[in-house]
Amino acid sequence: MGLVEIQKIELSFLNVNCYLVHYKNNFFLIDPGSGFNKIKNYILEKNIKLDFILNTHGHFDHIGAVNDLIKEFKIPFYIHEKEQEIIRDPRKNLSLEFSPNGLSLSTYNLIKGDYIDNFLNKGIQIMNMPGHTPGSILIKVENYVFTGDVLFKYSIGRTDLPGGSDEEMKNSLKKIKNLDKKLIILPGHGPESTIEEELKNNYYLQILN
């Protein structure tokens, strides 16, 4: 068994990729956007002790199951400080588009800073990559990088939603171009890729100066 074990849990709502990561004796979820019962049952069936939830950003399709999971497993939830306004405002996290009352998160822990080399002293790297949202982050665990809705296979995230910015996305993509080419990309939607493959085939990376 490798140092990092990752289980992708594909969620039906907007086809979000939720990831269960086992790393250095910790189990944590990335982007549990829906499917509370599906995620809960998987964790209980595998007899997993879940330690925390870590989100790449605060849009509704990525945070939809967070409140229920916090209550069920009594665990902390972490998101970047620049997402605070989004997770608290149903208009900005887009939940009003799908639910009459929307969703606002009130229980959370904020990640502060643009780069954290050793998040929670667990060897996890956090990189703030704004553009899709102000507090979008990349999460690097060994040779894997969870890119949320910043970078997809052969594409990138939208910049026309609340908090989005074309200019910030360009700056973030320039930083991504300098990452290790061998990194395996695990995005918030769609199939996995690598930095090397994206440099060769992703139009949005190729047009950058």
pTM: 0.97
Residue 131's Cβ-side half-sphere holds a number of Cα atoms within 13 Å equal to 24
Cα–Cα distance, 39 to 37 (Å, whole number): 5
CATH superfamily of 4-206: Ribonuclease Z/Hydroxyacylglutathione hydrolase-like (3.60.15.10)
Degrees to nearest 5, angle at CA 38 with 103 and 51: 75
Q: What is the residue-level pLDDT of the chain in tens, covering all 209 positions?
A: 459 999 999 999 999 999 999 999 999 999 999 999 999 999 999 999 999 999 999 999 999 999 999 999 999 999 999 999 999 999 999 999 998 899 999 999 999 999 999 999 999 999 999 999 999 999 999 999 999 999 999 999 999 999 999 999 999 999 999 999 999 999 999 999 999 999 999 999 999 97
Q: Where are the domains of the chain?
A: 4-206
